[in-house]
Amino acid sequence: MSKFETGDRVRTAYGSRGVVIRRMGFGWLVNFPKNGLCLEVAEQDIEKEGEGQ
């Protein structure tokens, strides 16, 4: 089972919020609606919104 699913809201280690699109390479393709970018983010650099310390 994947850690994330399409549509999950996530936050990157850098504080940006985005939405998971799909698994890609060694990470996840994430859409960042605030600036309109879609970027690949390493799995260890993202967590689901509401999780974490």
The rounded distance, in Å, linking the Cα atoms of 33 and 53 is: 24
Question: What are the 10-residue block averages of pLDDT along the chain, 53 residues in total?
Answer: 89 95 94 96 93 61
Q: In this predicted structure, what is the pLDDT of residue 22? A: 97
Q: 15-42 burial by CB neighbour count: b if 16+ within 10 A, else e?
A: ebebebbebeeebbbbebeeeeeeeebe
Structural domains counted in the chain: 1
Say if 37 falls within a structural domain. Answer: yes
Say if 27 falls within a structural domain. Answer: yes
Q: In this predicted structure, what is the pLDDT of residue 27? A: 94
Q: In this predicted structure, what is the pLDDT of residue 50? A: 80
Say if 20 falls within a structural domain. Answer: yes
Task: Specify the DSSP class assigned to residue 45.
Answer: G
Say if 28 falls within a structural domain. Answer: yes
The domain in which residue 39 lies consists of 9-48
